Chains A and B, each alone.
Chain A
Amino acid sequence: MWTREEQTENESAYHKLREDLKQQYPHMHFVAFGHGLVIANSADFKDLLEKIREYGRDPRDVMVIRVGDTRLKKGYIFARIRGIKR
């Protein structure tokens, strides 16, 4: 089961290990975290899901990042200002 506490633990571990992961794995390699530990890795997403299950976790409960991922971490959404409708 996914929990906020474990998500925080996984994000904290990822931020500590981010630079080390770049040395250990190829660019855009998938790495899975569970309870603040690296529990699986693979270049292929489907293979990674299998490894997570073999480890005994439901993939939906763990955190997976791609090494060297530069996607946006912060951004604005202009959808519509709440409460204002024409």
Chain B
Amino acid sequence: MSEQRFPYQGDPLRPLVKLTFADANGVNHTLSLIADTGCPFEVILSEGWFDQLVHTRTDEIESNFGFMSTGWIQLYMPEMGLVELINGCGSKEVGEIVSDDHQAFAGLVGLPILRLGEFGGNATEFWFRYPGT
């Protein structure tokens, strides 16, 4: 089982997961994403990262942040055994909110991805393990 563990970051403090995605040219990009177990979507990226990582579009999703672009995105972390074609969202508003908390944040990772493995936290750190037990 592989594990990543990071101290909470940002203002206010946020739990953080780093996920790597392969773009359409096969170039890998590792993004810092807020772990949001209340988010029902797989990932929501800033508009810029979404445009860079999307392989094809799919039909849009409605949210309390308005309609969000969606598309197929390649989650590519072979060192963890986590290689999945996922349906990601792009939102300018979500991108602005997360980067306001910490400039390194590129979006949110929601429960559908987090529950592929195991996750947890304590007073100082958040961790994500894959695969789950």
- Chain A positions within 8 Å of B, measured between CB atoms, are 2, 7, 10-11, 14, 32, 45, 49, 52, 59-65, 71-80, 82, 85-86
Interface string of B28-70 (1 = CB under 8 A from A): 0000001010111100100000000011111111111100000
Contact B64 A45 (CB under 8 A): no
Which of these, A11, A59, A65, A77, contacts B41 with CB under 8 Å? Answer: A77
Complex Cα spacing A72 to B110, Å: 13
State whether A77 and B65 are in contact (beta carbons under 8 Å apart), knowing that A60-B24, A86-B12 are contacts in the complex.
yes
CA distance A23 to B108 in the complex (A): 36
Please, which residues of chain B bring their CB within 8 A of the CB of A65? 58-59
Inter-subunit contact A11/B56 (CB<8 Å): no
Contacting pair B56 A77 (CB below 8 A): no
What range describes how many residues of B lie at the interface?
20 to 34
Q: How far is the CA of A82 from the CA of B72 in the complex (A)?
A: 28
- In angstroms, Cα B109 to Cα A77, docked, is 11
Segment at the A interface, from B1-9, B93-101, B114-122: B93-101
- A72 and B97 within 8 A (CB): no
B residues within 8 A CB of A76?
40, 63-64
Contact, CB under 8 Å: B40 / A49: no
Q: What is the CA–CA distance of A63 and B85 in the complex, to the nearest angstrom?
A: 15
Residues of A within 8 Å of B63, CB to CB, are 74-77
Partner among B60, B62, B97 whose Cβ is within 8 Å of the Cβ of A11? B60
Residues of A within 8 A of B24 (CB): 59-60
Q: Is B20 an interface residue (CB 8 A)?
A: no
Q: In the complex, what residues of B have CB within 8 A of residue A7's CB?
A: 57, 60
Q: How far is the CB of B86 from chain A (nearest CB, A)?
A: 10
B91 to chain A minimum Cβ distance, whole angstroms, is 8
